[in-house]
Homo-oligomer: A and B are copies of this chain.
Amino acid sequence: MAFEKVKRSENYSEWYNNLVKNADLAEHSAVKGCMVIKPYGYAIWENIQRQLDRRFKETGHSNAYFPLFVPKSLFEKEEKNAEGFAKECAVVTHYRLKADPDRPGRLITDPDSKLEEELVVRPTSEAIIWNTYRNWIRSYRDLPILINQWANVVRWEMRTRLFLRTAEFLWQEGHTAHATKEEALDETRKMLDVYAQFAEEWMAVPVIRGVKTENERFAGADETFCIEGMMQDGKALQMGTSHFLGQNFAKAFDVRYQTREGGLEHVWATSWGVSTRLMGALIMAHSDDEGLVLPPKLAPIHVVIVPVYKSEEELNLIADAVLPLKKTLEAAGLSVKFDDRDTQKPGFKFAEWELKGVPVRLAIGPRDLANGTVEVARRDLKTKENLPFAGIETHIQQLLNDIQKNLYQRALDFRSAKTYTVNTWEDFVSAIDVKEGFAVAHWDGSGETEEKIKELTKATIRCIPLDQHEENGTCILSGKPSKGRVVFARAY
């Protein structure tokens, strides 16, 4: 492996960049801020998509597809949303290139192809979708509308990081329309739960469910719910958001429905999304200095089998023994790789599959064959043991379950150890700056205090947790009264 090793403890950020590159997950492209998602990285994203898509459908949603472009006049209709995204919009102004008269073989934008109205490349699709919903909604019978879209979006970014912050990214965006406020709020919460369950049960990342403060709210939302995970450097990563949009878009796009009683009311809305950012969370939550560590439920390859042999005859004997096992495991729904490349030695292969985070590795040589044993290594703990080959498939299934559980428990223990309930400014600063974790502290509820804390410590309020309990206290900075604690952290 030409793997430039950087330890997490030395430089977490460089460790992450190296890992994304060396594990063949993604790379920067020739387009500033845009990434190429490589096959191995994309295979993980496909697993994420498949599970989320299944859950969306189970909860009554259908997929659809809306245009990539938003005419400027529609984009600006919901003013807060427009204001929030205006600074990062890629704008299409022309629809044709032509030969450059001065430089043969080169092209220039044809000035005669200027668009009458500029088109914004969608940074999010509320505008184009609510303009469409207007024609779909007449009466209460047309509601609810429960639609999701898998798409690419563009938000121009100056400082980018693979998966975490890129100008173009892939995501899903749910957009629902409801007759009542209650129903829309229920939907907002329901999809937050879908995200939280996915994060915990599939990604093995424990999350805090909460509400954003006004400062951190989605532009155009009345309320933004979120899930927040802790990375191994103690920073928070927002893993998904679910917005209660009130009647803001319905009013901006004049979407009203006839009620059962014959009245005319504006429609209530939600939107919710997760993106390829989840890849960043998955990588940062579990991986180690040897490379990626993947939860089995999302790993593109569950088991790799590495033969240890000297002659082709030995390889054939090993293949005869393991190929039926491979078939058995595949029949049970697992993805198995038999790495019989003759261009690389076993040690190289071990390192490569470790780097790629394959949960279980089997190694088997002539002596194992003679003894009826196999070496089984688990990626999460980097332990290995020699076990009887007969019946190993049952053990592997059990091991994959154990790894999934262990990763979650390890991440949960880590978060617990790095979450500090603090009551003084000194302890707060220490929790954020020295101990580098989450600080659970009282806050006076004002945007000014929030801003001030951010300036002083770079910590933001990640959320007001949904399980917050009422507790009288005083704000960590201002000393003003507070009714409950919120979660502060530095964040990605």
Contacts and interface: CB of A to CB of B under 8 A. Distances in A.
A67 B141 contact: no
B97 A91 contact: yes
A268 interface: no
A36 B64 contact: yes
A92 to B, nearest CB: 5
Interface stretch (A39-47, A216-224, A421-429, A435-443): A39-47
Interface in A127-162: 128, 131-132, 141, 147, 151-152, 154, 156
A12 B97 CA distance: 35
A96 interface: yes
Contacts of A69: 31, 34, 90, 168
A197 interface: no
A418 to B, nearest CB: 34
A119 interface: yes
Nearest to A146: B39
B96 A87 contact: yes
Interface string A77-95: 0010011001111111111
Interface in A40-60: 42-43, 45-46
A62 interface: yes
Given A42-B64, A87-B96, A72 B128 contact: no
A74 interface: yes
Contact of A39 (B64, B94, B107): B64
Tallying the copies of this chain within the complex gives 2
A220 to B, nearest CB: 14
Given A67-B34, A170-B65, A97 B86 contact: yes
A91 B90 CA distance: 10
Contacts of A132: 27, 29-30, 36
Nearest to A136: B38
Contacts of A30: 67, 71, 74, 128, 131-132
Interface in A95-123: 95-99, 105-107, 109, 113, 118-121
30 contacts: A27-B132, A29-B67, A34-B69, A36-B65, A36-B66, A39-B147, A42-B65, A43-B63, A45-B65, A46-B63, A67-B168, A68-B152, A68-B168, A69-B90, A69-B168, A72-B97, A72-B107, A75-B97, A76-B105, A76-B106, A76-B107, A82-B97, A83-B99, A86-B97, A89-B95, A90-B95, A91-B93, A92-B93, A109-B118, A121-B121
CB-CB nearest 8 A-B residue pairs = A39-B62, A34-B67, A37-B65, A86-B97, A95-B156, A91-B94, A31-B67, A93-B93
